[in-house]
Amino acid sequence: MAIFAVSDFREAARRRLPDFLFNYIDGGAFEEVTLGRNQADLQSLTLRQRVLRDVSDMDLSVNLFGQELAAPFLLGPVGLAGMAARRGEVQAARAAAAAGVPFCLSTVSTCSLQEVTQGAGSPPWFQLYITRDRSITEALLDQAIETKCTALVVTVDMPMSGIRYRDFRSGMSGAPGLKGQARRLFQALCRPSWSWDVGLMGRPHGFGNIAPFMGGNTGMEDFVSWVAGNFDPTVTWKDIDHIRSRWSGPLLIKGILDPEDAQTACAAGVDGIIVSNHGGRQLDSAPSTASVLPSIVKAVDGKATVLADGGVRTGADVVKMLALGAQGVFLGRAWAYALAAGGQDGVARMIDLLMTEMRVTMALTGVAQVQEICSKVLVRQ
């Protein structure tokens, strides 16, 4: 199929991936209210068209945490993205490196931190979960330090996993043993190109960074069970203090939706805050990122760099997030769809597409530099 937008990548991914994998990437918690709000609230923002302004010297580049980026967006962490294409996280990291934007590897990736670093030629950012067994967290942190990851992103909105009805309906979870395996195998066989490219030629299949802690178990139900058993409801700000004491590089907290939490994060000495509701995959009926972003930017008051994710599907969405006060934008599903649809080339095309859409949006709102984007590019309602 012809691909001209992220929505086309999504449709191509739906056609190529087994149902359980597509719905794992595409779905959200409960009835997916927050998932829908993320996109709807961004789409509801109106851009202010300006004319007769010299926008010939267009520049998308930004500097975040001492790193020069070709555009103000990053490929954020997506669990199991490596199953979307053969050694998928490596392919995505290569595309990001070639485009000059960072790639952030999930704790629950398919490819390990070492494999991604070697395959991409440079270390990625690393996303860390604080696990029930703190020795696992320490081991993962040690890996990030040894690999010289360029930033550490600690996700804090998962004291326990959200309930995702789509995963139950598709067979990703809730169907243990032979019954679940048979269901997923049938779905895979219905997608022969994926089964050959990823299922067969993409071996060995594993769970990358957490594989050493899973006792040799490699089944999907093993992964779901491990995740459910290792997220910890006792996590507090003291754990962030401990990580800050060990990690000397840029430290970001992902999963902030409340201004008071943002202020506490600043007091804990973090360098960045990622305003995020986990893509609508955790607390359903939580507010959209776009709706709370301005209040969090105000609460932070320049004490930390504020980034955001949630519902971003176009370059215009990136501009809107920046206009609401974000200094950078994390992409999640957008690059996962592109990876599933076309591997490294798909991700590269998606990045180029968003950059092109940003340039057009900026030109028509009368700004030529990312630093010029502010609330004035939005129509006040």
Cα(109)–Cα(56) distance, rounded to whole angstroms? Answer: 41
Range of the domain at 127: 6-374
Percent of the chain's residues with pLDDT above 90: 84
- CB within 8 Å of 216: residues ≥ 6 apart: none
CATH code of the domain covering residue 81: 3.20.20.70
pLDDT over threshold 90, residue 57: yes
Q: pLDDT band for position 219 (50/70/90)?
A: low
Residue numbers in the known binding site for FMN are: 77-79, 106, 127, 155, 254, 276, 309-313, 332-333
Structure tokens at 190: 């219905």
pLDDT at position 210 is: 86
More confident site: 185 or 322: 322
Does a structural domain hold residue 35?
yes
pLDDT at position 156 is: 97
Does a structural domain hold residue 247?
yes
> What's the mean pLDDT in 34-41?
98
CA dihedral 25, 232, 229, 286 (to 10 degrees): -30
pLDDT over threshold 80, residue 216: no
Task: Write the Ramachandran bin of 2: left for phi over 0, alpha for psi from -120 to 50, otherwise beta.
Answer: beta
Neighbours of 356 (CB within 10 A): 11
Does a structural domain hold residue 116?
yes
Does a structural domain hold residue 380?
no
Cα(266)–Cα(322) distance, rounded to whole angstroms? Answer: 20
Does a structural domain hold residue 360?
yes
Q: pLDDT band for position 242 (50/70/90)?
A: very high
> What's the mean pLDDT in 290-308?
98
What are the distances in angstroms from CA 72 to CA 253, 305, 326, 329, 362? 18, 13, 10, 6, 13
pLDDT at position 214 is: 78
Domain count of the fold of the chain: 1
Per the prediction, the chain carries an average pLDDT of 94
For 126-135, the pLDDT digits (tens) are 999 999 999 9
Does a structural domain hold residue 127?
yes
41-79 CB burial, b ≥16 within 10 A, e <16: bbeebeeeeeeeeebeeeebebebbeeebbbbbbbbbbb
Whether residue 278 contacts residue 298, with contact meaning beta carbons closer than 8 Å, is answered with no
- Nearest C-alpha neighbor of 69 from the set 381, 282, 354: 354
pLDDT over threshold 70, residue 304: yes
State residue 371 phi and psi, 5-degree precision. Answer: -65, -15
Cα(51)–Cα(228) distance, rounded to whole angstroms? Answer: 53
pLDDT over threshold 70, residue 256: yes
Identify the active-site residue in 16, 278, 320, 359.
278
Does a structural domain hold residue 309?
yes
> What's the mean pLDDT in 146-165?
95
Which of 164-168, 201-205, 254-258 is most confident? 254-258
For 185-197, the pLDDT digits (tens) are 899 899 999 999 9
- Nearest C-alpha neighbor of 127 from the set 231, 251, 24: 251
> What's the mean pLDDT in 296-320?
98
pLDDT at position 203 is: 84
Catalogue the E-assigned strands of the chain: 62-64, 67-69, 73-75, 104-105, 125-128, 152-155, 251-256, 272-275, 305-308, 328-331
The reply to whether 242 belongs to the active site is no
pLDDT at position 175 is: 66
Structure tokens at 84: 């979307």
pLDDT over threshold 70, residue 368: yes
Percent of the chain's residues with pLDDT above 70: 97
For 345-365, the pLDDT digits (tens) are 999 999 999 999 999 999 999
Q: Which helix (H) or strand (E) holds 299?
A: helix 289-300
Residue numbers in the known binding site are: 24, 77-79, 106, 127, 129, 155, 164, 254, 276, 278, 281, 309-313, 332-333
Does a structural domain hold residue 381?
no
